[in-house]
Structure 1
Amino acid sequence: MQRRQFLRHAGTMLALASTATLAGCARQAIVPNAKPTVPPRAAQLASGVAELAPVRAEVDRITGVYVCTRPFRAAGPRIELEKFGNKAVVHNYGHGGSGWSLSWGSSTLAVRMAQATGVRELGVIGCGALGLTSALLAQRAGMSVRIYAKALPPDVFSMRATGLWTPDSRICDAQHAAEFGDRWETMARTSYAMYQSMLGLPGDPIEWIDGYHLLDTTQGQQKDTVSDEPEYGDLSDRISDLGPQSVTLPVGSTPFPQPARRFSIMMFNITSYARMLISDFQLAGGKIIVREFNHPRELQALPEHTLINATGYGARALFNDESIIPVRGQTARLIPQPEVNYALNARGLSMVPRRDGVLVQVMGDTGNFNNSDLTPNRAASEAAVRQLADIMATMRST
């Protein structure tokens, strides 16, 4: 999901981003009796003026309002082995708002722990971001894998994420950041490398996009909002060498009337990405069994002796882990607009141009920490869409 922390660090590579098409304003020589020529790409980029298609931000284009609970743990994700009767359970949950972003690195650690038990057959509990990547990595390590889950995509919380590369979003609190930093960096770099290998695949499950953070020029009129969330750990400096850097743009170089910062970041087109992961798992012989567990003792009936627990927020109830704090998040999804290929980040609002719908989210609102209510607040999403419409109304045409 989008994050208030993201806004606070908008000048880093972890800020919002999108694929902006830059227009060419370079003059062309007029050759008599010759067909007009298209300026080369280099000339278009040299102009420094961005051509951005406006978002059709209308409430009657909302296709759905989605709510999820991000599983935050103050000390960071739980990745450790625990014995339950005759079962070895490797926990892999509690990634806050960084589940997709850290999934490959976190699951690499979990699969290594599972391998250390010496088994050749593995059970994975959960079919979200962490469950799917754990299962695929275990297969690639030569293990036979079954996934057990009460819900499958698209009916899992992972599918309701915003879909941006945000590896330190609500990953731990500031108090635990130093001791967790080394493990986090390993997971982030491992995941980043895996995602780079997926660029250009059919359906664009992973792609780089550019985005625009509109700078607020009315600081004197801002009202300070008291946060009801803890101070989260900021680990972004550890991977500042990954990816492009942000650039401040002057007024006139974008269609917006205020100055902006342009960012670049990876975006997950979660619908096609999750479908690809499931397909790869099944083509490699993996089996998926729909089953719900209400108590750890029910795991004893499974044929596998080693299990990876990737149940996310569900681990709070299944394993009575009260260290997991739900952080509520809500997005509205608009009808897809392929021509909108940039993300937008303004005060209190973000927009992400996913292929399965343009996501609009309120930023910096309170009342979400330790809130497990999954009831959509449509009025809040409609207000966000109207705010986006106001921004679109200020764009000059190109």
Structure 2
Amino acid sequence: MSFGVLGAGVVGITTGLELQKQFPGAKVTILADKFDKDTTSDGAAGLFRPSTSFTGPNEFVTRKWIKDAYDHWDAIRCTSDAPLAGIAQISGYIFSSEHPHVVQNSRIDKLVPIYKRATEKELTLCPGNWKYGTFFTTLMIECGLYLPWAYQQFQNNGGKIMKRKVNSFQELTSENFDVVVNCTGLGARYLCNDTQLVPLRGQVQKVHAPWIKTFFFGDYDTYIIPGFKAVTLGGCRQLDSYNLNVCPYDSASIRSRCESLLPSLKSAKTIREWVGLRPHRAVVRVEKEKLIYNEKALKVVHNYGHGGFGVTTAPGTSIYAVQLVRETLSGNSKL
């Protein structure tokens, strides 16, 4: 049995590992032109907090993806590999001075171990006229650690990693893959001619602030998330923007908003500024497709369009994608 996985970001490598888990002895090859720090996954803060707008094909599947993902990450957290994989438990607050729904999240309120309304005293922890707040305990997955760890796990299991840019599925018809899993993120816009997939530009700052151990979210996409190596300050969500350059106006806005939320950040040194184009799709695409090129068939399972929640939900959609791979191979596919 031979499988090809396109893409080496968090979705691609997690899918590769899931294929190895469910098909022991199979040959799994990851093909990608970007790895580690060149992927969109690398700059993500990695807080497990899927938005209520995150959507799969239906509500049942969407919730299963999220629960499966949480269980997967939490299982690694409970092992000795947790610090190597960049996974830890973390707690914090979401505050809003304008809307109560901003601090409510029905995707995780019954899933995480602690999820409660912030007290009046807790609303005074940060400067500002905060009217609504939630405190919860969740997970943090730092891809700067997870990706190298996952690549190593994948190769230890016999997986092959190939640096190669795939411009067309037709190129793969000669590779003799039983199934190809497409985890190319924003690249799928061109590979699949999928105009529903658009970039959602994000910009963050990584700062040295080791005294911050709690995450904080405020209004206007403001967030402060401590990690293993640095604290991530954000952010912005600019739909259909392809600008990969650091914008000084966004930098100033992020710093100002985050320092207003936590004044101690004024003394924090900036380590790195980062821009990423999140692959946003109104409905995340995890589905089967059969392509024909010169009478040669290529069986494909797509797994892309996670927007800003690829790190959060990668294990869930990967488990579902590998289930579709199994259906395709067993003849239960409707292809």
- Taking structure 1 as the reference length, the TM-score comes to 0.57
Q: Flag the structure with more relative contact order, 1 or 2, with Cα contacts below 8 A and sequence separation at least 6.
A: 1
- Is the CA contact 1:338–1:355 (under 8 Å) kept in the aligned structure 2? no
Q: CA deviation at 1:351?
A: 0.9
Please name the residue that 2:84 is paired with. 203
- Distance of 2:28 and 2:263 partners within structure 1: 52
- Structure 1's consecutive aligned runs of 4 or more residues displaced over 4 angstroms after TM superposition are 252-255, 257-260
Please name the residue that 2:111 is paired with. 242
Q: Kindly tell me: are residues 123 and 150 of structure 1, through their superposed partners in 2, closer, same or farther at Cα, counting changes over 3 Å?
A: same
Per-residue CA deviation, residues 225-272 of structure 1 (Å, 9 max, x unaligned), is: xxxxxxxxxx95365421121231223786435555422221112211
SS in 1 for 2:58: helix
Name the amino acid aligned to 1:160.
G
Name the amino acid aligned to 2:94.
H
Please name the residue that 2:319 is paired with. none
Name the amino acid aligned to 2:14.
T
1:339 paired residue among 178, 202, 211:
211
Please name the residue that 1:183 is paired with. 61
Percent sequence identity over aligned pairs: 24
The structure with the greater share of residues assigned to helix is 2
The structure with the greater share of residues assigned to strand is 2
Q: Kindly tell me: are residues 321 and 283 of structure 1, through their superposed partners in 2, closer, same or farther at Cα, counting changes over 3 Å?
A: same
- Is the CA contact 1:215–1:261 (under 8 Å) kept in the aligned structure 2? no
Q: CA deviation at 1:312?
A: 0.9
1:159 paired residue among 35, 42, 49:
42
1:298 matched to 2:168? The reply is no
Q: CA deviation at 1:161?
A: 2.2
- Distance of 2:2 and 2:19 partners within structure 1: 9
Please name the residue that 1:377 is paired with. 247
SS in 2 for 1:237: coil
SS in 2 for 1:385: helix
- Is the CA contact 1:124–1:308 (under 8 Å) kept in the aligned structure 2? yes
- Is the CA contact 1:208–1:266 (under 8 Å) kept in the aligned structure 2? yes
- Distance of 1:203 and 1:320 partners within structure 2: 37
Question: Within 5 A, what are the aligned runs for 1:1-398?
Answer: 120-141=1-22, 142=24, 143-168=26-51, 170-172=53-55, 180-200=58-78, 201-203=82-84, 205-216=86-97, 237=106, 240-243=109-112, 244-251=114-121, 255-257=125-127, 260-335=133-208, 337-348=209-220, 349-362=222-235, 368-393=238-263
Extract unaligned runs of 5+ from structure 2: 266-335
Superposition RMSD in Å: 2.7
- Distance of 2:75 and 2:215 partners within structure 1: 23
- Distance of 2:73 and 2:160 partners within structure 1: 24
Higher mean C-alpha displacement, 338-347 vs 288-297 = 338-347
- Taking structure 2 as the reference length, the TM-score comes to 0.67
SS in 1 for 2:118: strand
Please name the residue that 1:18 is paired with. none
- Distance of 1:194 and 1:188 partners within structure 2: 10
- Is the CA contact 1:147–1:288 (under 8 Å) kept in the aligned structure 2? yes
- Distance of 2:179 and 2:231 partners within structure 1: 40
SS in 2 for 1:276: helix
Extract unaligned runs of 5+ from structure 1: 1-119, 223-234
- Would you say how many aligned residue pairs link Structure 1 and Structure 2? 251
- Distance of 2:169 and 2:214 partners within structure 1: 45
SS in 2 for 1:158: helix
- Is the CA contact 2:127–2:260 (under 8 Å) kept in the aligned structure 1? no
